Chains A and B, each alone.
Chain A
């Protein structure tokens, strides 16, 4: 599976949009981009995933560049409860395909 690169940490003001970048320059054509987050001492929580097109759900938006070598997760109105480690992972889809976690980005939402 392709490797990802994320900033170690980011700050965001409460109520503002949080934009979390991820580089995945070696992604292959059939690999998806997944985003998960982990709040302290809990299991990871699914946020969103996509293949080529931009995606939006009730939690976030995912913007994937046209060459698919990078993506940005957008939390439109960050709250204190969004403080967590955010992981960007690329992987093939399918029930048996595993997700390999990198180091992620610690997002600290400031009041």
Chain B
């Protein structure tokens, strides 16, 4: 079946640095990808919708200048956490749906960010 891959799986960084997470659809094209964040023992929270070739759409309360999203091709979206702080430590998960498919949304394995 369709696969969505994230990289890196985990990352540790110092406070104030920026971290980039990649999300790739491996065997299908995705005009739209979604980024979620999950804190321990909580559900997934949708952060933004990544649109190929145009600006991302952010959910209410998510800072677009803090979480930069780029969707430069039909198989790659990136999330950059800028000037990361300890409160940004979380599990970040991306997802994508084959643009010809009205069915399931495929999720990546997730990227665990720890900011020291």
Residue of B nearest to A99 (CB): B105
User: How many B residues face the partner with a CB closer than 8 A?
Assistant: 30
From the candidates B4, B31, B43, B97, name the one contacting A101 in the complex (CB within 8 A).
B43
Q: Are A101 and B32 interface neighbours, CB within 8 A?
A: no
Whether the Cβ atoms of B109 and A42 lie closer than 8 Å is yes
Q: Is the CB of A34 within 8 A of B110?
A: no
Interface of A is mostly: loop
Q: Given the interface contacts A43-B109, A44-B93, does A95 sit within 8 Å of B102 by beta carbon? A: yes
Give the interface of A toward B (CB within 8 A): 34, 36, 38, 41-46, 49, 87, 93-96, 98-104
Chain B residues in contact with chain A, CB under 8 A?
4, 6, 30-32, 34, 36, 43-46, 49, 91, 93, 95, 97-110, 112
Residue in chain B with minimal CB distance to A46: B104
